[in-house]
Amino acid sequence: MANIYTRPAQMNDLPMIMKIIAGAKEFLKASGSPQWQTGYPATSDIELDIKNSHAYVLLVAGQVVGYAAVVIGDEPTYHTITKGSWANTADPYATIHRMAISQDFRGQHLSHFFMTNIITLMASQGITNIRLDTYRLNQPVQKIAAKFDFSQRGEILVDDPLDPQRIAFELNL
């Protein structure tokens, strides 16, 4: 597969991003996960990501097929971690949020391309500590985390009325 790359998202990408998010919500629901079933992430969340320069898209042959928000800096929900601890609390870190691949491209290992690109982008900015979290039934994200040698660090709580507990992961390059 050729012509695969990642770039910052733009507002004109929003309709395709929201289609990708809607497909991811359906996928999570079908797999028995309540994650993303309460309206989050909404269009306003993605618009804010784009406005704050946190939004990235994965493109294949010029078509937007993936979305992720990558926030460099303090993540308030990561202040309290239970059943473990962060390995690196000294260096600045980036947090990957809202990662999704188009349902039309599932099974093509594009999440691996996307994650590689995100890690490379962060490393090129001097960010060598990367974190993410996921619902315990979200096996695809846990598999991606394992594939890229993220360490499971413990549990955090997020603002989710269905189940606020999330597994927290950390990668130190």
State pLDDT tens for residues 50-103.
999 999 999 999 999 999 999 999 999 999 999 999 999 999 999 999 999 999
> Nearest CA to 79 among 154, 160, 134?
154
Distances (CA, A) of 6 to 24, 85, 86, 91, 115: 19, 31, 28, 25, 10
pLDDT in tens, 52-63: 999 999 999 999
Q: Band of the pLDDT at 2, cuts 50, 70, 90?
A: low
Q: List % helix, strand, coil for the chain (3-state, nearest 5).
A: 35, 30, 35
What single-letter DSSP state applies at residue 161? Answer: S
CATH numbers and ranges of domains, the chain: 4-172 (3.40.630.30)
Q: Residue 137 has what pLDDT? A: 87
Q: Please state, in angstroms and rounded to a whole number, the distance separating the CA atoms of residues 66 and 49.
A: 14
State the residue for tokens 């989710």: 160
The reported pLDDT for the residue numbered 163 is: 77
Strand residue runs (E) in 14-86? 55-60, 63-72
**pLDDT at residue 148 tops 60:** yes
The pLDDT value recorded for residue 1 is 53
Q: What is the mean pLDDT of residues 11-31?
A: 96
Report whether 73 contacts 92 (CB < 8 A): yes
- Per-residue pLDDT of 149-167, as tens digits, reads 999 999 999 988 777 899 9
Structure confidence at residue 95 (pLDDT) = 98
Return the percentage of the chain with pLDDT > 70, whole number. 99
Residue 28's pLDDT is: 92
Q: What is the pLDDT of residues 88-141, one digit of tens each?
A: 999 999 999 999 999 999 889 999 999 999 999 999 999 999 999 999 889 889
Tell which residue, 73, 57, 72, has the closest CA to residue 110. Answer: 57
